[in-house]
Amino acid sequence: MSAELITLLIIAGIAAVIFAAAFRDRSHDRNRAIEKLRRSFGQIPGKEIPPERFEKIPYYFEHHRREGQIDDITWNDLNMDDLYERIDCTLSAAGEEYLYLLLRTPAYTEDGQAFKEEQLRFFQDPAHEADRLRLQEILQQLGRTGKYSFFEYMDLLDRLGKRSNAYHYAAIAMPLFAFLIMLVNVPRGAMLLAAAFVFNMVTYFKEKREIEPYVVSFRYLLRMIAASEKLAAVNNPVLTEETEKLRQLAASLRHFRRGSFLLLLDSQYGASGNPADIVLDYLRMFFHLDLLKFNSMLGDVRKHAAEIEELAMVTGKIDAMICTASFRESLPAYCEPALHEENGSGNKAGNWTYKAEGLFHPLLAEPVPNDFAADLHPVLITGANASGKSTFLKASALCAILSQTIRTAPAARYEGSYFRIFSSMALRDDIAGGESYFIVEIRSLKRILDAAEVEGPPILCCIDEVLRGTNTIERIAASDEILQAFANAGILCFAATHDIELTQLLSGSFRNMHFEGRIEDGDVLFDYLLKEGAASERNAIALLRTAGYDPGIADRASARARRFEETGSWI
């Protein structure tokens, strides 16, 4: 056997060992990833989203606002950024942005619900774990877009204008011409090749900086087309409509994949880093191959913008659906909501249903469930400081929102109408706009009354401490009139207040309920259970004692409060 043959056999053997090791490592990595997906399902997400990426997630929603979505005041009042993070275990950028859009877009009919109950239950069922993991593996391979929003750069493609390929054709021609010169004159050819190298690199990076965000989005689009084909090939029994749509869309966009490796394989953006990829990187830089491919795709992307958007939405929907199934399993309790479409206008007192058993706030680690039903009247809630009023209001609104978005109620049982949902709770002074807290508050309340003048589903609103931004006498008088106007407009209002006077003034229109606490061993204890009737106890002054204030301050404050109740005068 010749030395050359032995050398070739040794090289082939080494290559086979390297290939086998790479295949083994890839197989181990895949198994570890699948096992992580299996363990994390039904757990509280530990996902960390960089701040710059979190800022981009609402992009699609922000550019597709419409009537009936959760407005900014309500979203902020209810801490729904925190709720989003509590729910979000999506595996793709499409899933992240779809989930955000979904949580801000309640359905108002059964047909408007994004998911079917049978779909969610399928993915929750341990018997279908393998089916779920196969879909999750595909979605995980699709992945995210880094700090960019896919939809943002799809929307901004027009800013690129018409792209010229002149530089790029020159980048191909100059090195080839230099090699031809080298056949005749090596020094001159080498100098020309060096000049071509410098020219190509300078023009490459100049162009690359301008289009890089769009290149990232195009790479993501290419991965999404490939992922959609794989998702459609799974033939999941509860995703027939979604997978058929993906199949159609992927077929209409399949031509984008021709030559797509020029954009997909880039060691700087997630490739394996093997020598072949590195060589291809330098070839792209030297001959502008990925820039040529980008320009050829640009016109086609603009023509097919609607199909691309729908492809992302359907892909994101499947991701968010599995995420919702996991969220259900992570809760201490949940139920499928029983929702009703009210006949005729919702702007009529009592034209609603709201009944909950075991209602709780989904962000609390150890929530206290409450049973609650609002029948013919809105509800006025009184009670001691820190007794649970605000938390209950938020839980009530979130139950309706989650029921109408991801058909998952944080309760043992929930039956409700399809509501338009508003709140006025955690407002602030608008310093930039020069508006005081009181002005911000009355504007916030007025927007709810304005919404009630528009025909549609009944309105559910939660208000915490009505008109807290003004003096006691005017607050009570104005609060009485505003809340009465809410009742007259047919708004199902859950309002919390410290003004006991309102329990009497509104007794004909509002049902009184309360939370209470008790003082035990110098401390104030709460059971966080909602009870019938108005509160009869106050604890603000008692809290002064438990906080370590001079006992004389608390005693004198108690005496003054009693004197005012008896005489109506502070003097």
Each residue of 346-377: pLDDT tens digit?
Answer: 566 668 999 999 999 999 999 999 999 997 78
Q: Is the pLDDT of residue 322 over 50?
A: yes
Instruction: Tell me the H-state helices in 371-492.
Output: 389-405, 437-452, 472-488
Residue 270's pLDDT is: 41
Q: How far apart are CA 90 and CA 82, in angstroms?
A: 15
Give the tens place of pLDDT for each residue, 460-512: 999 998 887 677 788 888 899 999 999 999 999 999 998 888 999 999 899 99
> Can you give the pLDDT at residue 262?
65
Reading the block at residue 167, the tokens are: 């530089």
SS3 159: helix
pLDDT at 434 exceeding the cut of 60: no
| Residue of higher predicted confidence among 52 and 447 | 447
Contact between 153 and 213 under an 8 Å Cβ cutoff? The reply is: yes
Look-up of token digits 């438990």: 546
Residue 202: predicted pLDDT: 79
**What pLDDT is attached to residue 6?**
65
Split at pLDDT 50, 70, 90, the class of 133 is very high
Using 50, 70 and 90 to split pLDDT, how confident is the model at 198?
confident
Proportion of the chain above pLDDT 70, given as a percent: 84
Comparison of pLDDT for 563 and 454, the residue scoring more: 454
Q: Across the chain, what does the average pLDDT equal?
A: 84
- CB contact burial 24-55 (16+ within 10 A = b; e otherwise): eeeeeeeeeebeebeebbbeebeeeeeeebbe
Domain 338-538 of CATH type 3.40.50.300: yes
CA distance linking residue 484 with residue 324, whole number of Å = 38
Q: What is the pLDDT of residue 347?
A: 64
Mean pLDDT calculated for residue range 371-397: 91
Q: Assess whether pLDDT exceeds 80 at residue 266.
A: no
Q: Which residue has the higher pLDDT, 564 or 83?
A: 83
What confidence score (pLDDT) does residue 88 get?
A: 97
CA distances 105 to 88, 100, 404, 452, Å, are 16, 9, 8, 18
pLDDT at 21: 57
* More confidently predicted of 120 and 472: 120
Each residue's pLDDT tens digit, 516-563:
877 766 667 788 999 999 887 666 677 676 767 777 777 787 777 777
Q: For residues 479 and 394, give the distance between their C-alpha atoms in angstroms, rounded to a whole number.
A: 20
* Beta carbons of 384 and 322 less than 8 angstroms apart: no
Confidence at residue 268, expressed as pLDDT on a 0 to 100 scale = 45
Please give the Cα distance from 204 to 171 (Å, whole number): 9
Element (H, E) at 283: helix 275-287
How many percent of the chain have pLDDT more than 90? Answer: 48
Closest by alpha carbon to 513, among 306, 372, 415?
Answer: 372
Lowest mean pLDDT among 17-21, 230-234, 508-512, 547-551: 17-21
> Which sequence spans correspond to the domains of the chain?
1-40, 41-330, 338-538
Please, which residues bridge with residue 338 across strands? 415
